[in-house]
Structure 1
């Protein structure tokens, strides 16, 4: 900056806690240098305000049993939410007291939209029910089909998840 305006700028050391900087040089250059410095100060203040706005933190409560589905396989679901809403999302650590608290950090409007996306997943999961169905073990192989083809077809057609519980002798739908 000094070379750009052909001036000398003296900034007091931090321990002096002074708000005054000294500019020396030709009068014609001082005004330009002062304007340049004030513009830079405005830019820095804007960056600082933006950092503060981007640091908005929203805490939401979600039953820990839903966390794995919100995170998704290899973190795919939560990564997409982070990307779509430009936020940072933190789940509680194992030892944390509040295992249901999820924190979302970013611009306030973005944290709200990310929260809505998470709540939509939770609402969809809460609509799911589980029911035990007792079936004669002799028909299990036919329901499952070769390489699981028949059971996959049922799951796709009816949008359910079927699991075989050998110890209970039944098939469970989710």
Structure 2
């Protein structure tokens, strides 16, 4: 089964030394194969849309973005859903300047605690 996730997120999906992928692989009896890393000039985010393709269509055929899942179909679908949920999301929040010091805390303690507790940057 193919799972298309932009290559720039693959490192985060793998975790430290592949720990997340190994855990998923063991728990769901699925082999997870990440593609070889594309050179920096050819990353999918920087590639132009190939001629003759619909710009709104997913980039299914882009090899550097395609993760191959091997195993039972229901297990592969479960792992695909988990991998897609692990893709980081950026949310911008406007906070008035006078409140910044309360969020940061003394010597950055509050902000570090939030980063650890909620796995955010």
Decide: shared fold, TM above 0.5. yes
Alpha-carbon distance, 1:95 to partner: 3.8
Choose between structure 1 and 2: higher strand proportion.
1
Alpha-carbon distance, 1:151 to partner: 2.9
| Counterparts of 2:70 and 2:33, CA distance in 1 | 8
Highest RCO, 1 vs 2 (Cα 8 Å, sep ≥ 6): 2
**2:112 aligns with one of 145, 148, 152:** 152
1:145–1:151 contact (8 Å) kept in structure 2: no
The aligned counterpart of 2:86 is 121
Q: Does 1:70 align with 2:70?
A: no
Choose between structure 1 and 2: higher helix proportion.
1
5+ long unaligned stretches in structure 2: 40-61
Q: Does 1:104 align with 2:69?
A: yes
| Counterparts of 1:91 and 1:61, CA distance in 2 | 10
Worse-matched range after superposition: 82-91 or 63-72:
63-72
Q: Taking structure 2 as the reference length, what is the TM-score of the superposition?
A: 0.60
Distance 1:81 1:153, change over 3 A: closer
The CA deviation string for residues 109-134 of structure 1, in whole angstroms up to 9 with x for no partner, is 22122112212223xx23x4146879
Distance 1:115 1:153, change over 3 A: closer
5+ long unaligned stretches in structure 1: 1-57, 162-173
Alpha-carbon distance, 1:79 to partner: 0.9
